[in-house]
A = this chain, B = another copy of it.
């Protein structure tokens, strides 16, 4: 580590985001926020450090071990949020009299988990939660499913579906094979949850290893496969239909279990089939969690989007505009004498809404400036030499085709707006 001073590096599990990556991330987050706000959800943010007491002991020892915690200079035990649900429970406890319930909020922030690096998992990632606090109605669950379906469509995904189930269905099925104790029920649910990743035989084997008799296991799969949606799921399906969500986007899946113990009602998971990236959002109803986490006794339902996974999928499948930059044109500087004209042109373009770069050095050779535009992926360069200035024109060079045309200054804006939209999708 003594070499660090000479060779700076980023911590494992943490990432630097260069402009190309940031632009995709920003586009995804902006799009998702737009959908959330169109549904009447409100933004919220909580700190990146909390009292350790607030964050620890909520999800068990395994989770606690992943929390970054330390003693600050004032001797306080502090910690960095592992998720956004616990800080929200804190916020709801503090501001419960100031908040209007039902409370629809979204929250997009970094969270930290000290996962083992060999898993290839990030230790810092963007959590994106959208939840409704204070409604027990299946309509609230339906709103979450509808917002998920609309978000995925707006992001450009075509072949996806949302799996739906209800923890109550699983509880009832397990009762039928005489599994009623909470601990055993949750332990079996955690194993059923693996059906997503493992073949059925292996899951069966694991259930048998966990002391379930072979006949019980067979019976269990038989009744799981024969299960049908309960009342709340039926209401959710109707609400989604009324909202115009196509049926192909929704699937009742009685094997959907979701790994986490705290789900108490409907559960859901969005799966993208093409590109084959699996689950990119998951959630459900968790009516008892907020109180358990230290918040008020209110029902809740919501979903988390995997932003990093969504970004990866969109890049890999060219579903997102991957143009190198929002900048439409570089205004070059012919010489120090013509600098004023170049600055003035850049200002005009900028104030008419065209993202415009101005080369920040009047001494640089034109060739160097054109190369700069090319490397940055800027589609046009504006050249303003003494001849152009005398004629009241600007030479516009298309960096892709090499084509050049001379235009009156006043027409440049129009040309860039047209040309720009032809070249770039956004």
- A residues contacting B by CB (< 8 A) are 1, 4-5, 8-11, 14-19, 22-23, 25-26, 37-40, 42-51, 53-54, 65, 68, 70-74, 76, 78, 80, 89-91, 93-95, 98-100, 102, 104-105, 110, 112, 114, 123-124, 132, 135-137, 139-140, 142-143, 146, 150, 238-239, 242-244, 294-295, 325-327, 330, 333, 339-341, 343-344, 346-347, 350, 353-363, 372, 375-376, 378
B100 touches A375 (CB 8 A): yes
Closest beta carbon of chain B to A7's beta carbon, Å = 8
A95 cross-chain contacts in B, Cβ below 8 A: 16, 18
Point out the residue from B15, B40, B243 that lies within 8 Å of A357, measured CB to CB. B40
User: In the complex, A375 Cα to B102 Cα: how many Å?
Assistant: 11
Q: How far is the CA of A340 from the CA of B240 in the complex (A)?
A: 9
Contact residues in B for A330 (Cβ distance below 8 Å): 40
List chain B residues, Cβ under 8 A from A139.
Answer: 333, 339, 343, 358, 360-362
Known: A140-B361, A358-B143, A360-B135. A16 touches B45 (CB 8 A): yes
Contact between B93 and A8, CB atoms less than 8 A apart: yes
Q: Assuming A47-B16, A325-B42, A363-B137, is B132 touching A339 (CB within 8 A)?
A: no
Chain B residues within 8 Å of A42, by CB: 19, 22-23, 325
**Contact of A4 (CB < 8 Å), options: B51, B70, B357:** B51
Tell whether, in the assembled complex, residue B15 and residue A47 are in contact, meaning their CB atoms are under 8 Å apart: yes
Q: Are A49 and B16 in contact (CB under 8 A)?
A: no
* A54: contacting residue among B4, B47, B243, CB under 8 A: B4
Number of this chain's copies in the assembly equals 2
Given A5-B294, A8-B294, A10-B47, residue A347 in contact with residue B244 (CB < 8 A): yes
**Known A16-B47, A243-B346; contact A38-B100, beta-carbon cutoff 8 A:** no
| B39:A344 contact, CB within 8 angstroms | no
**When the two chains form their complex, are residues B102 and A9 in contact, meaning their CB atoms are under 8 A apart?**
no
B45, A339: Cβ atoms under 8 Å? no
Question: Which residues of chain B have C-beta atoms less than 8 A from A325's C-beta?
Answer: 40, 42
Q: Is A72 a contact of B114 with CB atoms below 8 Å? A: yes
**Known A1-B53, A17-B44, A68-B72; further 8 A-B contacts with Cβ < 8 A:** A4-B51, A11-B50, A16-B46, A39-B358, A40-B357, A48-B48, A137-B362, A139-B360
Q: Which of A45, A110, A353 gathers most chain B CB within 10 Å?
A: A45
17 inter-chain pairs at a CB distance below 8 angstroms, sorted by A residue, are A4-B54, A8-B94, A10-B94, A11-B51, A14-B50, A17-B43, A18-B95, A19-B43, A39-B350, A40-B356, A65-B73, A70-B70, A100-B372, A102-B359, A140-B360, A242-B343, A243-B346
- Decide: B72 and A339 in contact? CB cutoff 8 A: no
Closest 3 CB pairs of A and B: A40-B357, A70-B70, A19-B42
B contact residues around A73 at 8 Å (CB)? 65, 114
Q: Closest residue to A47 on the B side, CB-wise?
A: B14
Give the distance in Å from the alpha carbon of A44 to the alpha carbon of B238 in the complex: 44
| A90 (CB) vs chain B CBs: closest residue | B8
Tell whether, in the assembled complex, residue B22 and residue A43 are in contact, meaning their CB atoms are under 8 Å apart. yes
Given contacts A139-B362, A143-B360, A242-B339, contact A99 B18 (CB under 8 A): yes
Residue of B nearest to A240 (CB): B343
Q: Given known contacts A19-B105, A49-B112, is B5 in contact with A239 (CB within 8 Å)?
A: no
Q: Which residues on B sit within 8 Å (CB–CB) of A244?
A: 344, 347
A72 to B47, CA, bound (A): 20
* Chain B residues with CB under 8 A of A70: 68, 70-71
Q: How far is the CA of A93 from the CA of B6 in the complex (A)?
A: 10
Q: Which residue of B lies closest to A40 (CB)?
A: B357
In the complex, what residues of B have CB within 8 A of residue A17's CB?
A: 43-46
For residue A354, which residues in chain B have a CB less than 8 angstroms away from its CB?
Answer: 38
CA distance A65 to B72 in the complex (A): 11
* CB of A390 to closest CB in B, whole Å: 18
Q: Are A361 and B137 in contact (CB under 8 A)?
A: yes
Cβ–Cβ < 8 Å partners of A90 in chain B: 8-10
Inter-chain contacts of A347 with B (CB < 8 A): 146, 242-244
